[in-house]
Amino acid sequence: MKVQEFIKKVQDKDINIVEHIHKVLEECKKINKEYHYLNTISEELALKQAEQIKKNPKGKLAGLPISIKDSICVKDIESTAGSKILKGYKPYFHATAVEKAIKEGVIIIGKTAQDEFGFGGFSTNAGVDFEIPLNPFDKNRATGGSSGGAGGLTQKASFPNIGLGECTGGSIESPASFCGVFGLVPTYGRVSRYGLIDYGNSLDKLGPLGKNIYDCALMMEVISGYDEKDSTSLNKEVDSYTKYLKKDIKGLKIGVIKEAFSDGTDNSVKKNVWNGIKKLEKQGCTYKEISLPITMKYGISTYYTLATTEASTNLAKYCGMRYGASEEIKGNFDEYFTNVRSKNFGKEAKRRIMLGTFARMSGFRDAYYIKAAKVRSLIIEEYKKAFNNFDILITPTMPILPPTFKELEKLTPLQDYMMDIMTVSPNLAGLPHINIPVGFEKSLPIGMMIISDHLQEGKLIQVGKEFDN
Ligand code: GLN
């Protein structure tokens, strides 16, 4: 059943929502044993919300189960961002996006697994003691990341549901691609970040993952908008995203980014994405191959310099004194601080702290952080020029098929970061983009990424519907 039919049934009282949610929770537990998509199943909250919906089946999302990435705060539900250092942390408030979704009647089923604080592209950098989510199509392969639990659960669950994810440099698109679902990353500032356990403040965005394009459009209508609690949220009217599901794509101009189809990209990925482009051409779009040399050459180094810099400052606040993991207070503050952080941060978080601290240190700042900030402006300019001539830009989402865990073990950190080659740049530019499932190879899903100009999320939905199931 599709999300829209399900919601209609709940509103019409054709579904016993309490019974349904009992079944949903059972299924979540079963899936979780095998696939590890949820760090927490919020059983009590879900059943309470179901009782309320039973009495009053109202709201645009009435009765719809949604999962929330573990880095997004849900009041009274453990929210760890996948890190041991936040173990036991139960926020006193909801993130604004969660609050908005609750107002429209959602039922929160749990907090989804991720790379610790979002540091990763495969969800294999889960924090100390966390389990790693497994790809829904092949348990020997990764889900993508960092919103891997969200991607996996959205695909695997038999019940209609939507995932709320977070993206800094690819964390919604990557798992959406590897798990074969839609994943929409809005313009930076379109959705409030209030209540997000931050990774990099100039990059973080919240967005939906769904089996169908409608799911993303609907969720975007609910969570978007200005929020006085987030000074970076945009004070611009929210578009009616579902309207774009009826809009013809005839005449849309597509720029296909050449560099994204170079030797580093798997042939099966190229083939399937080109099939997608040809399909759009048949529907009346025109396309041209274009080059974005600065963006494609410097995206990775720029992103990893800026993202780690911001991450290293954000992580400075975790010392286990106010919330989360605590250790016995022994020695002076530095000794305590070192002890708590050594024990409770995972390897990748530590690496990012070192990289980021180095890049912004006095003496090195001009050469790394400041330089990267300047290159970021050049990347934005390059995209903006392209949007003078094109409505949307297309690349594959990920350059490879979902990798096996064995393959991932062999990668150096730099090779691992390189897998984000397609996704980091639209994120640096704050541009909206979406993963669209376009095909399968060896029974594994392949995703195509569409990028549009700022606040043009509508175009992503308009094009995405051509690939809907
Ligand atoms: N893979 C990227 C990183 O590790 C993106 C992660 C994200 O968007 N949170 O930084």
Same domain, 30 and 96: yes
Indicate whether 185 belongs to any domain: yes
Same domain, 177 and 317: no
Phi and psi at residue 66, to the nearest 5° = -130, 150
Indicate whether 431 belongs to any domain: no
User: Cβ distance 412 to 438 under 8 Å?
Assistant: no
Say yes or no to pLDDT of 330 above 90: no
Indicate whether 424 belongs to any domain: no
Pick from 227, 245, 263: which residue ends a domain?
Answer: 245
Q: 303 CA distance to ligand 1 centroid (A)?
A: 9
Same domain, 15 and 157: yes
pLDDT of residue 304: 98
* Section 202-231 average pLDDT: 98
Q: Is the CB of 117 under 6 A from ligand 1?
A: no
Q: Is the CB of 398 under 6 A from ligand 1?
A: no
| Distance, CA of 442 to CA of 403 (rounded, Å) | 12
Q: Under the phi-then-psi rule, with left for phi > 0, alpha for psi from -120 to 50, and beta for the rest, what region is 280?
A: alpha
Say yes or no to pLDDT of 321 above 90: no
Indicate whether 131 belongs to any domain: yes
pLDDT (tens digit per residue) in 158-171: 999 999 999 999 99
Q: Which residue's CA is minimally distant from atom 10 of ligand 1?
A: 119
**Which atom of ligand 1 is closest in space to residue 119's alpha carbon?**
4
Same domain, 56 and 165: yes
pLDDT (tens digit per residue) in 343-391: 999 999 999 999 999 999 999 999 999 999 999 999 999 999 999 999 9
pLDDT of residue 267: 98
User: Cβ distance 186 to 239 under 8 Å?
Assistant: no
Q: How many residues does the chain have?
A: 469
Indicate whether 375 belongs to any domain: no
| Distance, CA of 359 to CA of 367 (rounded, Å) | 8
Indicate whether 168 belongs to any domain: yes
Q: What range defines the domain where residue 314 resides?
A: 299-367
pLDDT of residue 327: 82
Say yes or no to pLDDT of 329 above 90: no
Number of domains in the chain: 2
Indicate whether 224 belongs to any domain: yes
Phi and psi at residue 286, to the nearest 5° = -115, 150
Which of the following is catalytic: 67, 83, 147, 171? Answer: 171
Same domain, 312 and 209: no
User: Cβ distance 182 to 215 under 8 Å?
Assistant: yes
pLDDT of residue 325: 86
Indicate whether 468 belongs to any domain: no
Which of the following is catalytic: 9, 42, 54, 69? Answer: 69
Same domain, 9 and 141: yes
Structure tokens at 437: 């499932």
Q: Cβ contacts of residue 328 below 8 Å, gap of 6+?
A: none
Same domain, 238 and 309: no
Active site residue 69: yes
Same domain, 233 and 139: yes
User: Cβ distance 116 to 126 under 8 Å?
Assistant: yes
Q: Could you tell me where the DSSP H helices lie in 315-370?
A: 333-344, 347-360
Phi and psi at residue 125, to the nearest 5° = -95, 40
Q: Is the peptide bond before 224 cis (omega within 30 degrees of 0)?
A: no
Q: Is the CB of 121 under 6 A from ligand 1?
A: yes
Closest by alpha carbon to 57, among 3, 119, 14? 14
Same domain, 10 and 137: yes
Pick from 200, 219, 245: which residue ends a domain?
Answer: 245
Q: Cβ contacts of residue 137 below 8 Å, gap of 6+?
A: 179, 180, 402, 443, 444, 445
